[in-house]
Structure 1
Amino acid sequence: MASTTTSALEPAPASSPAVKISLPLPYQQELFTSLLTSDALLILARGLGLLRIVTNLLHAYDVAGENLVLLVNASEDETDWVGEAMAETGGVGCAKGLRVINTEAMGVAGRRKTYERGGVMAVTSRILVVDLLTDNIPSDRITGVVVLHADRVTATSLEAFILRVYRRKNKSGFIKAFSDNPSGFASGFSPLSTMLKNLHLRTPTLYPRFHVAVAESLESKTAEVIELDVPLSPAMLDIQNAILQCIESSLSELRKGGNSREIDMEDWNVEAALHRAFDVTLRRQLDPVWHRVSWKTRQIVGDLKELRDMLSYLVTYDAVSFHQYLEGILATQSSGATSMGMGRMNQSPWLYLDAAQTIFETAKRRAYVGTLPKNGGSGATIPATLHPVLEELPKWATLSGILDEIEREAVMNPQLDHGTNGTVLVMCSDAKECRQLREYLQTVNRPVEDEEDGEDDAEDDDGEEKEGGRVTHSANYMMRRRLRGYLAWKQDLSKFKAAYNEMNRGTGGGGTGGAQMQKRMQEPQSFRGRAPANKRRRMRGSGNVGSSSKATAGAQPSDEQAVNVAALWQSLQPTEEEAAAKQEIAVDPLEHMEDFYELFELKNLVVVHPFSGDMDDRLLEELRPRWIVMYNPDTAFVRRVEVYRSSHNDRQVKVYFLYYGDSVEEQRFLSAVRREKDAFSKLIKEKGSMAVTLTTDAHTDIDQAELLRTITNTRLGGGGKLSATAEPPRVIVDIREFRSSLPSLLDARGTSPVPVTLTVGDYILTPTICVERKSIKDLIASFRNGRLYTQCEAMSASYAQPMVLIEFEKDQSFSLEPFAGADTSSSSTAAPGGDDIQAKLVLLTIAFPRMSFIWSSSPHQTAEIFAELKSGHPEPDVDAAVVVGLEAGEDPNSSYNNAPQEMLRVIPGISGKNARLVMQDVENLTELSNMDEADIAKLVGKEAAKKVWRFFNKTF
């Protein structure tokens, strides 16, 4: 059946009443109509409803007739979003909805039948490329391909491979690509032209926020926005300035140690370091010379990421959690220096700056003042020498005030329209901050009891702070719990340090420390058996706990100070209410889950939710909130609110926009807006001066590689002779190798990759040459678990010329030295790092004299090496390669699920030979994990059975 072209679909989706278009804004309808009539790359500003446009486009093709449209490069959440939206949109009876092919559990025959039925399908890239190469999918019947996240499509990616094979086999089908990340197209030389070439497209469509159609659509109806500039506390401002000084000092040291001739250091400044992608950019520049930079430079690169994370945690973590995080950094640095025996030299350079001292001292003052006992205290009792400060985040009080204002507004001005609910939506950065805000909102109005008033004073009507037994808008209730958790964590940390030091002393003195440490770690009060510090412990029986603590060494306070400290200390102990209260954060037992299911009324509901990209559009449509509180600034969500408000005339929305003024949070928000605007400006300029590439036209494209293969000149007997052959050279590739970029590069060079499931080797170049490909990380892991030895043994027994390909990445140094820290061998006598890898390679060479090793600096060079190795040799036989390594009588067409099969192969004790025996007698991994050692020994032998049984039954 001939494929349906784009022109046949032009009038139907746009005018047919059967197609329900849920695109209310003019710019969305304009884009929808334009994309139906032509192939294009759409680059839309983030937050303007890209996924909604894609959903309507797919629905139009679904109801238009017998089409086969493939959705590529979509995440699992996006696939669910599109599938549910298409189901809700509805349509005529021929609509089939979105079908997902995202697992290899569906066999080849099942996928073929699914493709033949047609419709809209979301297919993972790895499955689709194999089906295209093996003709499991009828290429001539494919109506078109829709590619999401086009900014991630590189020349060596699977998506580019898919489009190249698709365009080679189908000249009439459409290709439509989408992206909402303009920054991904704005780096490098002519990035837009390069991306269009990878996507086999000619026309880019750019829609920034300042586009005329977008601005007119969104500015006609605007939401009421209240900006709240929340100032940082003086202590937080001091910590922020100190962290920025540490970042500036680290960047200065990095410039001194870097190679200015090979690395562009123009953007290495504090402002650039605040951007989220700075770590990736910095490492990408340093990777080619990573083996030449000093250990100090490598350490500073890691320190910069830690300092940048610290800036984020300063405004999101509470005072106690932030201080605990810093304590963890110090504990890690001190333990690393002690174990290496290097002392101060091994610690991060920024720790010795005056600014670092400011960070740690100020963070401690935000949590408490005073001293702790040497063992860190106890989670149940508070030492008398500790004076809790418990500084709250400034946004907490602001959020509480906003909710009070909303409550008063809901009472005095009831909702008049029927388009919105009385829901309050609070949006924050991540799930951890959501848990923090939920805990704060659940405990902010709890009574703080004292001995004089107890529970007699109930909360007042206004919810304002009182001085006796009182109700406050403070987070004192939550912060006391955090402080007790910190003290318990401190005690566990001191116990672990003591055990760790004891082990080191025992190892140096006579080897008895390891056993003593193991005994200590198995004590009931060990840190391994304790709940995390941020979790409330369930108290069974009586809720009373000891209220006295042991005397600690140090200066004794005066009588007046002792009374004040005792009062604070008493208020910090768990109350009966706290002890008996159900833990809000912990998961309740499954047997009682039915008791907690209920339907909430959206009229008086406060929903705390993290930003989740395009999924926020559905959240707004389902909740229909009357009030939205943006706890953290986010450019994309601001636009989503604009689109939501402009799409519904009957819905009133009031937005509270919170941000810390004069902070890194504000700087990052403004920087993100400026970067996006600059990226669109660069793309618009490049589009205006971009030359039209005619070779990407689907109807005039000529496969030059096929032409060169058809007409070749060979010298026979001293004379020239023309021979015609259209069959390209082929390489048999294991299906698991399509995760890498090498099969795509082989195809680009004119060598046809044939995907099959191989038992021995990864690539079969000729009937005698078998290649096992190893990346550096895979090489280290294969040496560690012994898998490489088994693979070399199987290749040597089956092929005359076995080879091991050691492949480096294109942008990494061509040396084993940078990976010195990757080989963490359990043996203390093994040579560290790259030397250990080379020693193992020498031993492998001695064990297998016929084994050849190929060193490749990049996948591009590997493709050239394969072409040279194949030159002058016959082509490999697919049927013969598939049966190599199988047992006598074993069916090569028997299918196993690849995902559990790969998990089985990495289990210690499982090799390529005994894996087949296990799969024949064991139904799944669950059954294998529950088998006795004796039963496993019947399948794989006693020695291998020990390893397998220990793997499943080891207690960590």
Structure 2
Amino acid sequence: MEEDDTGECSSQLNDSFGNKEGLELLEYERATLAKTLPASVLFVVASGLGLERLFLEHLILFSDRRLLALVLNTNEHDESYFVSKLKEHSVDCDPKVINSEVSIKDRQSIYLEGGVQFCSSRVLLVDLLQNRIPVDRIAAIFVYRAHQTLNAFQDSFILRLYREKKPDGMVKAFTDVPNVLSSLGQLQRLVDRLYIRHVELMPRFSSIIETELNRYQLKTAIFSVDVPTALRRVHRTLIEFIKVCVRDLRTSSLSGKQTDEPVEEMIHVPWATTQLEKRLRDRRGNISEKQQRLLNDVASLREILQLSENMDVATVLSRLQVLKNDRTVLEEHSGWLLSPSFNRIMEDLLTIAGVTNGKGDSKKFAVPAKWTVLAEVLREIKNISLEKKEYKDNAPSVLIITNSEDLSRQVTDVVRYGINKMKWMTWRQLGYLTKQEMPEDEPLWDPETISQLMRSTLDVESKSDVIANVQKSQKTTARAAQKRRKHAEELSGFSSDSRVQTNLIQFGILQYKRRKSGNEVKGI
């Protein structure tokens, strides 16, 4: 009976606000949405459960001209993503982005247009203090990445002003970083700063969530790749370089001395950016020259480590040679390019590439072990027998995902030309002569059915273009609304803005005498 009520409530809400179709929600998402929609809630979702889907469904429901929903704590990437998704669902009221680039008069008109509006905290705080927002029309305030409110004050102050002016207002906060809330004290602090009383926990081990996810469970297989000993030494040396640079960065930073990074974060330092680095990059103009050098070195070392783990040896060597021959890098680096450890890295990479005493041997060139594993996996997939009636005219597809466009191009060439030809082509990049002729193509898959999909080849708008188009459209809408409002005020003879300057004809000594004489006549 309860599930029927939940489904009925959800359908009624979809018919009332925003897009009637909405997202195709899972069962636990639909139940959570129907249960918590009328209340102020803090959603604490397990990482990987799709917080973006739940947040997007709330935005779709509140995309209505009769409602005003403000979104806080989103960056440019978040705004472009959600704006694009809302446009895909053809919501009744287009989303809007309000920041410092939007004028005060335009902001006042945009607020009256309703719908979902992504606001910067600083601008929204000023507008609330200046009473430029119709608070009585605000249906809800959504706080994205709510855990960041623990270390910020603007969002909390905005919610306090909102609660003072509208005590029964709705606030919904979302976070998928439950590790930040490591204790009840932290959770209580976050709830107090958000002015929310109800917390909705969505752990992965919840019975309804576990049952729903088990229906679509994927079968995974992990392949461990064995790398040469020399390459393993290169990885260890690069990791040590990164850790030393991060440690020096913490030592040279006052904030790093006051708050040490967690042990878990130091373990992931070689692959993930630390919170200290993010804080220093945000105030890049106010940091010392040493800190700037260390930040650049950490970024370069992480790039080289990623190349050595994913790409071939020739690509890594060419990248290191570019850094070594760049005068600007040599002048600004912290010294790791001139250290004995860097020389050992170059020796190990040359050994892997089959270069000894300045002479190269293409037969000793070691290709990445991942190429061999990829070839074996594709061979197994090709040998799987499938009945035509299962797929009719559409043949089964294989999707290969990479973490960079360069790696995507290389993997595409490996699948299209084969390992032997790619080995020969990669060896030629080193610049050593070889008597071996170019091998024939040995494709791992049918070359005619291989396609490459990259962001640079897609005809899609960039993040900045999405935001710029939204602001251009909302500016046109705001100016049209201002003209309509001005025309209505002229017809009614009433101005809603008390700060409009008085006509100049009412000023001056002559006009003052006329008004005074007129008043005397009336008194007589």
What TM-score do you get using the length of structure 1 for normalisation? 0.39
Give a deviation string over 1:392-416, Cα, whole Å, max 9, x none: 222123224433443444x744471
> Which of 216, 228, 232 matches 1:233?
228
Whole-angstrom distance in 2 between the partners of 1:266 and 1:74: 25
- Give 1:609 shift: 5.7
Is 1:425 paired with 2:399?
A: yes
In 2 relative to 1, CA 231–220 (structure 1 residues): closer, same or farther, beyond 3 Å? same
**2:12 maps to which of 5, 12, 15:** 15
Of 192, 208, 214, the residue aligned with 1:213 is 208
Tell me the alpha carbon deviations over residues 606-628 of structure 1, each in whole angstroms, 9 at most, x when there is no partner: 55568xxxx9xxxxxxxxxxxxx
For residue 130 of structure 1, report the CA deviation from its aligned partner. 4.2
2:96 match: secondary structure: strand
Q: Is the 8 A contact 1:323 1:360 kept in 2?
A: yes
CA shift at 1:88, angstroms?
5.1
Match of 2:35 in 1: 34
Q: Which amino acid aligns with 1:35?
A: T
Tell me the distance in 1 between the aligned counterparts of 2:52 and 2:179. Answer: 19
Paired position in structure 2 for 1:391 = 366
The one-character-per-residue Cα deviations of 1:585-623 (angstroms, maximum 9, x if unpaired) are xxxxxxxxxxxxxxxxxx95655568xxxx9xxxxxxxx
Q: Which residue of 2 aligns with 1:369?
A: 355
Question: Which consecutive segments of 4 or more residues in structure 1 shift more than 6 A?
Answer: 248-261, 281-284, 297-302, 418-421
Partner of 1:483: 430
- Residues 177-219 of structure 1: CA deviation (Å, up to 9, x unaligned): 11223345559x9443333333222333332333333222212
2 CA distance for matches of 1:414 and 1:302?
A: 55
1:148 shift after superposition:
1.6
Correspondence for 2:174: 178
For the structure 1 residues 107 and 262, does the alpha-carbon distance in structure 2 shift closer, same or farther, using more than 3 Å as the test? closer
Deviations 1:778-807 (A, max 9, x none): xxxxxxxxxxxxxxxxxxxxxxxxxxxxxx
Tell me the amino acid that sits aligned with residue 193 of structure 1: Q
Does the 8 Å contact 2:421/2:438 carry over to 1? no
C-alpha deviation, 1:422, in angstroms: 3.4
Seen in structure 2, the aligned counterparts of structure 1 residues 104 and 361 have a Cα distance that, compared at 3 Å, is same
Offset of residue 144 of structure 1: 0.9
What is the CA deviation profile of residues 728-765 of structure 1, one whole-angstrom value per residue up to 9, with x for unaligned ones?
A: xxxxxxxxxxxxxxxxxxxxxxxxxxxxxxxxxxxxxx
SS in 1 for 2:118: strand
Matched, 1:313 2:313: no
Find the aligned partners of 1:482 and 1:171 in 2 and give their Cα distance: 68
Match 1:567 to one of 428, 435, 443: 435
Deviation at 1:322, TM superposition (A): 0.8
For 1:204, the aligned partner's letter is: V
Tell whether the 8 Å contact from 1:248 to 1:269 is kept in structure 2 after alignment.
no
Shift of 1:475: 1.7
The answer to whether residue 88 in structure 2 is matched with residue 113 in structure 1 is: no
Q: Using the alignment, how far apart are the partners of 1:261 and 1:112 within structure 2?
A: 45
Is residue 144–residue 175 contact of structure 1 (8 Å, CA) maintained in 2? yes
Q: Which amino acid aligns with 1:221?
A: Y
Q: Which runs of 5+ in 2 are unaligned?
A: 1-6, 442-447, 461-498, 501-524
| Pairs within 5 Å for 1:430-829 | 430-442=404-416, 444-445=417-418, 472=419, 474-476=421-423, 478-480=425-427, 482-483=429-430, 567-568=435-436, 604=449, 606=451, 608=453
Shift in alpha-carbon separation, 1:197–1:98, aligned structure 2, 3 A: farther
How many residues are treated as equivalent by the alignment? 438
Whether contact under 8 Å (1:13, 1:60) holds in the other structure is: no
Which of the residues 381, 393, 396 maps onto 1:406? 381
Match of 1:46 in 2: 47
Shift of 1:368: 4.8
Q: 1:305 to 1:117 in 2, by over 3 A?
A: closer
CA–CA separation in structure 2 for the residues paired with 1:266 and 1:335: 31
Matched residues in 2 for 1:312 and 1:282: separation? 20
- Which has the larger share of helix? 2
Q: Alpha-carbon deviation of 1:83? A: 4.2
Instruction: Measure the CA separation in 1 of the matches of 2:40 and 2:355.
Output: 65
Distance 1:441 1:202 in 2: 55
CA displacement at 1:48 relative to structure 2: 1.6
Distance 2:39 2:267 in 1: 41
Query: Which of residues 324, 345, 357 in structure 2 aligns to 1:359?
Result: 345
Asked if structure 2 preserves the Cα contact closer than 8 Å seen for 1:13 and 1:61, the reply is no
- Normalised to the residue count of structure 2, the TM-score between the two structures is 0.66
Higher strand share: 1
Letter aligned with residue 192 of structure 1: L
Answer whether contact 1:424 1:607 (CA < 8 A) is retained: no
The counterpart of 1:193, out of the listed 188, 208, 212, is 188
Change (3 A) 1:62 1:99: closer
Structure 1 residues 481, 199: CA separation in 2 closer, same or farther (over 3 Å shift)? farther
* Aligned partner (choices 133, 146, 151) of residue 150 of structure 1: 146
List aligned pairs for 1:251-290, cutoff 5 A. 264=260, 267=263, 271-274=267-270, 276-278=272-274, 280=276
Looking at structure 2, the residues matched to 567 and 280 of structure 1 have their Cα atoms a distance apart, in angstroms, of 52
Alpha-carbon shift at residue 319 of structure 1 (Å): 1.0
- Cα distance in 1 for partners of 2:37, 2:322 equals 56
2:309 is equivalent to residue 348 of structure 1: no
Q: CA–CA distance in 1 between the matches of 2:38 and 2:394?
A: 37
Alignment of 1:20-99 (within 5 A): 20=21, 22-62=23-63, 66-86=66-86, 89=89, 96-99=92-95
- Displacement after TM superposition at 1:305 (Å): 5.6
Report deviation, 1:52: 1.6
Hey, what's the Cα distance between the residues in 2 that align with 1:304 and 1:86? 38
Equivalences for 1:880-919 in 2 at 5 Å?
none
The answer to whether the Cα contact below 8 Å between 2:47 and 2:176 also exists between their aligned partners in 1 is yes
- Change over 3 Å in CA distance of 1:306–1:280 after alignment to 2: farther
Partner SS for 2:381: helix
TM-aligned CA distance change 1:483 to 1:120, over 3 Å: same
- 1:942-953 → structure 2 map (5 Å cutoff): none
Aligned to 1:911: none
The one of 151, 158, 162 aligned to 2:158: 162
Deviations, residues 405-434 of structure 1 (Å, cap 9, x unaligned): 43444x744471689973332222233433
Residue pair 2:13, 2:61 contacting (<8 A) in 1 also? no
TM-superposed deviation, 1:571: 5.2
After TM superposition, list the pairs within 5 Å mapping 1:117-128 onto structure 2.
117-128=113-124
Task: Give the whole-Å Cα distance in 2 for the aligned partners of 1:305 and 1:398.
Answer: 29
- How many Å separate the matches in 2 of 1:101 and 1:282? 24
Letter in 1 for 2:44: I
| Matching residue's letter, 2:352 | R
Kindly indicate whether the alpha-carbon contact (under 8 Å) linking 1:437 and 1:608 is maintained by their aligned counterparts in 2.
no
Q: CA deviation at 1:318?
A: 2.2
1:150 Cα offset (Å): 2.0
Decide whether aligned partners of structure 1 residues 405 and 102 sit closer, same or farther in structure 2, where only a CA change above 3 A counts. Answer: farther
1:498 matched residue in structure 2: none
Q: Secondary structure at the match of 1:219?
A: helix
What SS is found at the alignment partner of 1:204? strand
- Aligned equivalents of 2:324 and 2:330: distance in 1? 10
- Matched-pair contact (CA < 8 Å) for 2:63–2:116: yes
| TM-aligned CA distance change 1:185 to 1:437, over 3 Å | farther
Deviation, structure 1 residue 244: 4.3
Q: What code does the residue aligned with 1:311 have?
A: L
Tell me: CA distance 1:134–1:314, structure 2 relative to 1, closer, same or farther (3 Å).
Answer: same
Q: Does 1:323 align with 2:317?
A: yes
| One-letter amino acid of the counterpart of residue 147, structure 1 | V
Report the CA distance between 1:567 and its aligned residue. Answer: 0.9
Q: Which residue of 2 aligns with 1:745?
A: none
Shift of 1:249: 7.0
Write the deviation string for residues 522-550 of structure 1: whole angstroms up to 9, x where unpaired: xxxxxxxxxxxxxxxxxxxxxxxxxxxxx
